[in-house]
Amino acid sequence: MTHALAYEWFRVRSLRSTWLLLAGAGAVQFASGLYWGLKRDLGSLDAFTSAFGLTDRVGALLVAAVGVAAFGLDHQHGTLATTKLVLRSPARIVGARALVTAGFGLGGGVLMAVLTAAGVLTGGGALPAGAGAAGRAVAGVLLLTVLSGLAGVALGGLLRHTGPAIGVFAVWVFVAETALAALGGVPMTALPVSGTALSAPSGTGVFAGLVAAGLAVVTFTLPRRDG
């Protein structure tokens, strides 16, 4: 497995898109933190936790794109055969990609949280005095970016193309969950992405279950679809 992790780490870090996507997620959060840090009429709100809102979904989408590229680019450039020749086991391929992408997702989440705080302070705002709400917001962002990266790996393996895989994730995050909450009456805390961002156990459990199921299907179908 160590060899598989090293192989996947080299592949991911050599892609310029990996660093651009993570930098984009951090830049969006810094801009959001700066916007809320400049506000002076927040009332009972605090700038730090308010700065996540919709923008953490944008960051999740960018991190998911890193995961999608794990399989999507392999299929698009015809290099999957080389990967299978080197790593051989489907479980090893999927496991290494999941672990490395989860690491990048965690790093992306930390970057987003740090740059949000930097944006708030740059705008002249103050960070929350207590760790309660801020801690829940950061925990939600970290879980969201890790699970989104893993969801990207699963979607990339299932759909085998970066464009459709990223499109499916974006439609789910920005359209489907809103429609389910508004029209179907589904609580936001029970929805995968929204629930995870809110640090709700129900939504986080649903998201983790979907990710586990998707990765299992990719592991099962990988040798059967490619011979």
DSSP string covering 37-100: HH-S--TT--HHHHTTTTHHHHHHHHHHHHHHHHHHHHHHTT-HHHHHHHH--HHHHHHHHHHH
Mean pLDDT of 185-199: 89
| Higher pLDDT pick, 40 / 35 | 35
Instruction: Give the model's confidence band at 61: pLDDT under 50 very low, under 70 low, under 90 confident, else very high.
Output: very high
- The identity of residue 100, as a single letter, is V
Instruction: Give the model's confidence band at 226: pLDDT under 50 very low, under 70 low, under 90 confident, else very high.
Output: low
- The identity of residue 192, as a single letter, is P
Whether the CB-CB separation of 164 and 152 falls below 8 Å is answered with no
Supply the pLDDT for residue 4: 77
Per-residue pLDDT reduced to its tens digit, 107-164? 999 999 999 999 999 988 777 766 677 788 888 899 999 999 999 999 988 888 888 9
Is 41's pLDDT higher than 90?
no
Distance CA 14, CA 83 (A): 15
Per-residue pLDDT reduced to its tens digit, 12-31? 788 888 899 999 999 999 99
DSSP code of residue 130: S
Distance CA 161, CA 126 (A): 43
E-strand spans in 113-217?
none
Supply the pLDDT for residue 88: 74
Supply the pLDDT for residue 227: 56
For residue 67, which of 141, 136, 137, 168 has the smallest C-alpha distance?
168
> Within 10 A of 126 (CB to CB), how many other CB atoms are there?
12
Distance CA 109, CA 195 (A): 16
* Tokens, residue 169: 């994730």
This prediction's pTM: 0.86
Mean pLDDT for the chain? 86
Mean pLDDT of 210-220: 92
DSSP code of residue 129: S
* Tokens, residue 132: 């309660």
Reduced to 3 states (helix: H, G, I; strand: E, B; else coil), residue 121 is helix
